[in-house]
Structure 1
């Protein structure tokens, strides 16, 4: 599986690099244009992303993630980027389906206010249980959150890294030791279009070896829409193949619409 993972990831890296776009290597706007900001999860931009996920197996799941991203200026030199994440889930059980809200997640990332081609940030990550059995972990968990990315000539590449550890909850519930990572990879094209691959790779360290990892690999395309009567909107969709998953899911279809409320 490791060889397949490396070969597939190499292809993902090559696809955006081969794409052509209309900026020069000396472009001073790297990391500062709105088309760059939408690829940067810690940019100084307020937004509301709506993210739909459809893992495909014998019984499909439906997951709608509602997010709110709000930047807060701490000082002249530092920003706090807050992100709240609420998943509405419809997932199969042994007999039927379970519906409700999954683990609510919150991150507060402190990042330099000065914009440039390199961005980084760090802060706490919180995961709150909602008490609905089968829709996530049942203990309150905290952990570190790190983000780093580089943007140059319309190319974005980087990584988000979080690991959650349970600190409170029912004594009979499983302890939490959960890794969440997101690969950031995109290439801007002309007229607001772009190619991207942002797989969410997770690991439940307390699960058995065969059920620890979730690894999707795939690509997608998106477009930033700015010429409309209302707010700028970023829309995108992608298809991913699971090379590791704790269930029998084979494919993942994603679609997202992000309403951009305010940006510098």
Structure 2
């Protein structure tokens, strides 16, 4: 009887270990999918950023919450359409001399990537499509008051725990307030990340923008660590990190900033 009981306990523990191992593997897979901007995974990142030393007098500060739902749609057995929206909620003070503080919604950027279901023979994952800038700001000092449109593209490769690639878009204004400056800007986001078996992901990237009108860079380098876990029954990725402005416009943010990211995950 004792031998039988011991066997049952061993089987139960073995099954529990296998279940935990499968769950851990699943979290690691989800973490790697999060590193892929065009993965077939519904996610809702909420990215909280803090920057300071902004404005002509370097006295301004900005708190920015970017809500970024990513929704994949299957077009057919060969192609996916990935919708990626960036909805900025902004609170800022002393950015513009004498203007005090502003809070509200900024300009929304909507992107759509047409992406093959399968990687290329060389293992590359890619997507291309349009990007649209919507003048949704609730205060004239929180947005450009311009409509903008242009192309966007992403390409990446995943090898073992590594993910590396880049995302780019170019936006040009075509309508809006004629008194505001035109938009002609290129956004570049090269990235590299490493995901551990415990579902930790360490990411290094830039989020640089070149303003062709003003001929100037906004060039922060960002380092973030995140982990896939569960809160109750909800799968989430929780992370945080820093960013440093290598270059910025005269009235742009300078020095160090901070970032916290909470992403809700909805696997298919």
Question: Into which bin does the TM-score normalised by the smaller protein fall?
Answer: 0.7 to 0.9
Match of residue 114 from structure 1: 118
Q: Tell me the CA shift for residue 258 of structure 1.
A: 0.5
Q: Tell me the CA shift for residue 75 of structure 1.
A: 1.1
Match of residue 210 from structure 2: 203
Checking the alignment, whether the CA contact within 8 Å between 2:244 and 2:256 is kept in structure 1 is yes
Match of residue 4 from structure 1: none
Structure 1 gaps, min length 5:
1-28
Kindly indicate whether residue 157 of structure 2 is the aligned counterpart of residue 150 of structure 1. Answer: yes
Q: TM-score, normalised by structure 1?
A: 0.81
The count of corresponding residues between Structure 1 and Structure 2 is 229
- Please point out which of 243, 257, 260 is paired with 1:252: 257
- Between 1:246-255 and 1:61-70, the stretch displaced more is 246-255
- Please point out which of 40, 47, 53 is paired with 1:51: 47
For 2:160 and 2:81, locate their aligned partners in 1 and report how far apart those are by CA, in whole Å: 26
Match of residue 37 from structure 1: 33
For 1:218 and 1:175, locate their aligned partners in 2 and report how far apart those are by CA, in whole Å: 28
SS of residue paired to 1:190: coil
- Please point out which of 142, 148, 152 is paired with 1:141: 148
Checking the alignment, whether the CA contact within 8 Å between 2:51 and 2:253 is kept in structure 1 is no
Match of residue 241 from structure 1: 244
For 1:70 and 1:230, locate their aligned partners in 2 and report how far apart those are by CA, in whole Å: 20
Q: Tell me the CA shift for residue 178 of structure 1.
A: 1.3
> Given the superposition, is the C-alpha separation of residues 86 and 253 from structure 1 closer, same or farther in structure 2, using an over 3 Å criterion?
same
For 2:40 and 2:187, locate their aligned partners in 1 and report how far apart those are by CA, in whole Å: 23
State the structure with more CA Rg.
2
Kindly indicate whether residue 225 of structure 2 is the aligned counterpart of residue 229 of structure 1. Answer: no
For 1:46 and 1:258, locate their aligned partners in 2 and report how far apart those are by CA, in whole Å: 10
SS of residue paired to 1:35: helix
For 1:115 and 1:166, locate their aligned partners in 2 and report how far apart those are by CA, in whole Å: 33
Checking the alignment, whether the CA contact within 8 Å between 1:138 and 1:174 is kept in structure 2 is no
After the TM superposition, which parts of structure 1 deviate over 3 Å for at least 4 consecutive aligned residues?
none
Q: Tell me the CA shift for residue 171 of structure 1.
A: 2.2
Q: TM-score, normalised by structure 2?
A: 0.80
SS of residue paired to 1:140: strand
Q: Tell me the CA shift for residue 218 of structure 1.
A: 4.0
Q: Tell me the CA shift for residue 149 of structure 1.
A: 0.4
Kindly indicate whether residue 172 of structure 2 is the aligned counterpart of residue 165 of structure 1. Answer: yes
Structure 2 gaps, min length 5:
1-24, 54-58
Root mean square deviation of aligned Cα = 1.9
> Given the superposition, is the C-alpha separation of residues 248 and 119 from structure 1 closer, same or farther in structure 2, using an over 3 Å criterion?
closer
Q: Tell me the CA shift for residue 235 of structure 1.
A: 1.4
Match of residue 17 from structure 1: none
For 2:253 and 2:153, locate their aligned partners in 1 and report how far apart those are by CA, in whole Å: 31
Match of residue 181 from structure 1: 188
Deviations 1:32-74 (A, max 9, x none): 9222101001000111110001012233210001121111111
For 2:180 and 2:97, locate their aligned partners in 1 and report how far apart those are by CA, in whole Å: 20
Q: Tell me the CA shift for residue 115 of structure 1.
A: 5.4
